[in-house]
Amino acid sequence: MMTQQELHDEFWLLTKSVLQDSRIDTEEAKVLKRWLEEHAQGGFFDVASEKLGRFLADGYIDRHESAAMISTLGKVLAQLRSAPKPSGES
């Protein structure tokens, strides 16, 4: 089982990879949504998961939804960066 820090690190890497081209397409959104569902953490992860679910309801991410997700993921990454490390984890 992964520690909370390992989950945060994995999400960080996945998100940075997706955001590399400054857009989120439908397939990338599905990958992020699946990861979030498999690694439910609550808090800031729930915000991204809920928004992805709404945007993917029609099976397509348009440019406006992509821009909104980039903003949301940027906020999640900022929260992860500033969150204290869980106690007992290195």
Tens of pLDDT, residue by residue over 76-89, are: 889 888 877 655 54
The residue range of the domain holding 31 is 23-82
- How far lies 77's CA from each of 46, 58, 62, 74, in Å? 13, 26, 22, 5
Residues of the chain with pLDDT under 70: 85-90
- Domain contains 87: no
The tens digit of pLDDT for each residue in 40-51 reads: 777 888 889 999
Residue 89 is assigned to a structural domain of this protein: no
Total tally of structural domains belonging to the chain: 1
Residue 2 lies in a domain: no
Instruction: Please provide the DSSP assignment of 56-78 as one string.
Output: GGGT---HHHHHHHHHHHHHHHH
The structure tokens listed for 16 are: 């940075």
